[in-house]
Structure 1
Amino acid sequence: MREYFLKTERIGFSEWTDADLPQACLLWGDANVTRYICARGQFIDNRLRLEISNLQRFHVQYWPIFELPAGELIGCCGLRPFSAEKNTYELGFHLRKKFWGRGYAFEAAAAVVKYGFSALRADKIYAGHHPQNLNSKKQLVRLGFRYLGDEYYEPTGLYHPSYELNSGD
C-alpha cells in the first residue's frame, strides 16, 4: 500500500521511487501521454530518475497521483524548480488517457498550487503547454494563471504558451 503525503477528495499524492518503473512505463510509455511533451520520444528510465533526483535535491517532483480508494495510477502532477528565481516553481501534470475528461487534472493541479504557495512558500508558479493542447490551456486559465507569452521549448522544437500565477493572486 502506498503512502500519500497529500490527498484530495479523489486523489492521493505519493513520491516516485526506484521501484516505480512499471508505473512510469504505464504513464510515459503511452504515446497519447507523451505526444505533447516531447518530439523525440521520452526515455522512461531517464524521466523517472529526473523525478527522483528533483525530490532529493529540491523536495519537489511531478508526484505520481493515484485514484482513491482503488490506488490506480492516474498520472503525475507536481512542481519542479523554475529557472534561477528563488521560490519559483513550474507546475506540470501528465495523465493517463483513461483518466482524461474526468476532472482529475484540475483537482490535482489545484491541490499542487495550494501546496506550493502554503507548504513551500512559493512566490510564483509558472506553467506552459504544447500549443495544440487546448485542454491544458483550459485548466491553467481556470486555475487563475495569466498568459505571459510564448517561449521556445527545446524538447518539442515549438513555441509553447507560458503562464504565471503569483502567491497574492
Structure 2
Amino acid sequence: MRDYFLRTKRLGFSIWNRVDVKYANSLWGDQNVTKFIVADGKMSINQIQNRLDRELEMYNQYHIQYWPVFLLKTNEHVGCCGVRPYNLKENILEFGIHLKSNYWGKGIAQEASHAAIDYSFNTLGVNRLFAGHNPKNTNSERLLNKLGFKYTHKELYPPTGLKHPSYLLTKQDYEQR
C-alpha cells in the first residue's frame, strides 16, 4: 500500500521512488502519451529512466515533482500530475499532467489538476502557475482553459522542438473560478 500525501474523491498522490520503474515504463512507454512530449513520439528505456531520475532529483532538491497518481479504490497507477520549477525568483512553478491513455476521458485529468493546483497555491504558496502544451494536443488546451489558465505566448519546448502555447494561472484567478 502506498502513502498518499494528497487525496481527492478518487485519486491519491504519492512520491516517485526508485522502485517505480514499472509505473514510469507504463506511462512514458505509451506512445499515445509521449507523442506530445518528445519530438520522435516515443521514449526509449533510457529516456524513461532519465525522466524518472529527474523526478526523483526534483523532489530531493525542491520537494516537488510530477507526482505519481493512483486510483484509491484499486491502487492502479493512472499517471502523474504536479509541478516543477519554472521561475523561482518570481515564485512561479510549472504545472503538468501526464495520464495513461486508458484513463483519458474519465474526468481524472481535471480532478487531479484541481488537486495539484490547489496544493500549489495553498500549501506551497506559489504566486502563479505556468503551463504549456504541444500545439497538436487540443485536449490539453481544453483542460487548461477549463482550469482557468490564460494564454500568454508561445514558447519553444526543446524536447519537441515546437513552440508550445503557454499559459499562466494566478491564485486570484483560480479562486474566482
TM-score when normalising by structure 2:
0.93
Match of 1:62 in 2: 66
Q: Summarize the alignment of residues 50-129 of structure 1 with structure 2, pairs less than 5 Å apart.
A: 50-129=54-133
Aligned equivalents of 1:86, 1:94: Cα separation in 2: 25
Cα shift at 1:84:
4.3
Q: Which moved more, 1:51-60 or 1:35-44?
A: 35-44
Distance 2:90 2:57 in 1: 19
Question: C-alpha separation between the residues in 2 aligned to 1:91 and 1:148?
Answer: 15
1:1-169 pair list within 5 angstroms: 1-40=1-40, 41-42=42-43, 43-169=47-173
Aligned-pair Cα RMSD in Å: 0.9
Q: How far off its partner does 1:162 sit?
A: 0.1
4+ runs of 1 displaced by more than 6 Å?
A: none
The one-letter amino acid paired with 2:9 is E
The 3-state SS of whatever aligns with 2:166 is strand
Normalising by the residue count of structure 1, what TM-score does the alignment of the two structures yield?
0.97
* Letter matched to residue 118 of structure 1: N
Query: Aligned to 1:85, what secondary structure does the other structure show?
Result: helix
Secondary structure, aligned partner of 1:168: helix
Q: What letter corresponds to residue 108 of structure 2 in structure 1?
A: Y
Deviations 1:28-67 (A, max 9, x none): 0111110000114431100000000001101100000001
Identity, in percent, stands at: 47
Instruction: Kindly indicate which of the two structures has a greater share of residues assigned to helix.
Output: 2
Unpaired runs of 5+ residues, structure 2, are: none
C-alpha displacement of 1:88:
1.1
Q: Unaligned regions of 5+ residues in structure 1, if any?
A: none
